[in-house]
Structure 1
Amino acid sequence: MRVLESLTADIKAGVLKPGERIPSESELCERHGVARETARRAVRVLRERGVIVTEWGRGSYVAEQQPKEAAPNE
């Protein structure tokens, strides 16, 4: 899913910093040429992974503390 990969790469590279608002679903749709459900799914996956937090009615933001990646043997 290119939206998920793009957001993940931007967060890891520091393009999107902790506490910074990520693009809205509408912006993600326009930027990546995808349906709204695709953008919504990418945001949901990142939220479930603890990479972003959502403040309902305000938007989604890069989490202040990023989850640790699982060790290779886990």
Structure 2
Amino acid sequence: MPCSSDRPRPEWPRRWRRAAARADAAALTADIEAGRIKPGERIPSESELCERHGVARETVRRAVRVLRERGVVETEWGKGTFVRDRSEPAGETGT
């Protein structure tokens, strides 16, 4: 299901979709490093991120997965995705 049904989504080549996910991950990382999203805070929802960046949900999911693999964020099922405190070991958020 696309984020915005009023405009058609082009079928982009796979390498462009990966590049878009990396760009979204970089934008989220920049927000975290600049202190706009602090450790323990929930990052915006998938729908908010896809509206903000003008991309499809799958692109946002890939970006969040990249950040999760890097240990920047941690997802709690049913609650959301939160910025990890880098001083804590992975898997222990304290929230």
TM-score scaled by structure 2? 0.66
- Identical-residue share of aligned pairs (%): 70
Does the CA-based 8 Å contact 1:51-1:66 persist in structure 2? Answer: no
Counterpart AA for 1:39: V
Measured at CA, do residues 66 and 49 of structure 1 come closer, stay the same or move farther in structure 2, by a change above 3 Å? farther
Measured at CA, do residues 5 and 56 of structure 1 come closer, stay the same or move farther in structure 2, by a change above 3 Å? same
Q: State the structure with more CA Rg.
A: 2
CA distance in 2: counterparts of 1:13 and 1:5, whole angstroms: 12
Among 25, 40, 49, the residue aligned to 1:19: 40
Does the CA-based 8 Å contact 1:50-1:66 persist in structure 2? Answer: no
| Structure 1 runs of 4+ with >4 Å offset | none
Gap regions ≥5 residues in structure 1: 68-74
Measured at CA, do residues 39 and 66 of structure 1 come closer, stay the same or move farther in structure 2, by a change above 3 Å? farther
CA distance in 1: counterparts of 2:57 and 2:67, whole angstroms: 16
Aligned residues: 67
Residues 1:29 and 2:40 aligned together:
no
Where in structure 2 are the equivalents of 1:1-74 lying within 5 Å? 1-65=22-86
Once the 2 structures are TM-superposed, how far is the Cα of residue 3 of structure 1 from its aligned partner? 1.4
